[in-house]
Amino acid sequence: MLRERRIPCLRIDGRVSFSDRSEILTRFRGDPSISVLLMSFETGAVGLTLTVANRVHIVEPQWNPSVEEQAIARALRMGQTRTVTIVKYITVNTVEQNIITLQKKKSQLAKFSLDGGTDNNATGRLDDLKFVLDTGA
């Protein structure tokens, strides 16, 4: 779709070698005519600084919310001078909606655990914990 609309873009996925990744990132950072960099979570979630980017689009929700947070953090680094916009695409009436619900439960449970279990809705949080453990997510 991007090529059909003549939108210059680059792509990094698991098939791209490390040296090619480095070259692609250098091109993306240095060529203002390239406004789109497509990356998979596996290649774009850890160890990158992409402050040249100011839009992050999540097109496939992850079971683990921290994976998405890491990917978003690539653009939200020290040195970022622009407002970063994050867009998540969720298809209605699909498993993606359940993944988002599970992400929220996991995030709430992490906060509940880190806060030492102090919560007015502790019973509900324990039920959520049972749900997460029972689904193996």
Q: Give per-residue pLDDT as tens, 7-16.
A: 999 999 989 9
Please tell me the distance from the alpha carbon of residue 73 to that of residue 51, in angstroms, as a whole number. 9
* Structure confidence at residue 136 (pLDDT): 53
Arithmetic mean of pLDDT, 29-52: 85
* Structure confidence at residue 24 (pLDDT): 94
Amino acid at 129: L
Rg (CA), the chain: 18
Residue 58 gets which letter from DSSP?
A: E
Give the tens place of pLDDT for each residue, 46-99.
678 888 999 999 988 888 888 888 888 988 988 899 999 999 998 888 888 888
Tell me which residue of 40, 36, 91, 49 sits closest to 68, measured CA to CA. Answer: 40
Please tell me the distance from the alpha carbon of residue 99 to that of residue 90, in angstroms, as a whole number. 10
* Structure confidence at residue 118 (pLDDT): 60
Percentage of residues of the chain with pLDDT beyond 90: 28
Domain boundaries, the chain: 1-89, 92-137
User: Around Cβ 105, how many Cβ atoms within 10 Å?
Assistant: 20
CA-angle at 132, arms to 128 and 137, nearest 5°: 155
* Structure confidence at residue 71 (pLDDT): 87
At the topology level of CATH, where does 1-89 sit?
Rossmann fold (3.40.50)
Arithmetic mean of pLDDT, 111-135: 65
* Structure confidence at residue 29 (pLDDT): 92
Does pLDDT of 132 surpass 60? no
Tell me which residue of 22, 30, 66 sits closest to 48, measured CA to CA. Answer: 22
* Structure confidence at residue 20 (pLDDT): 93
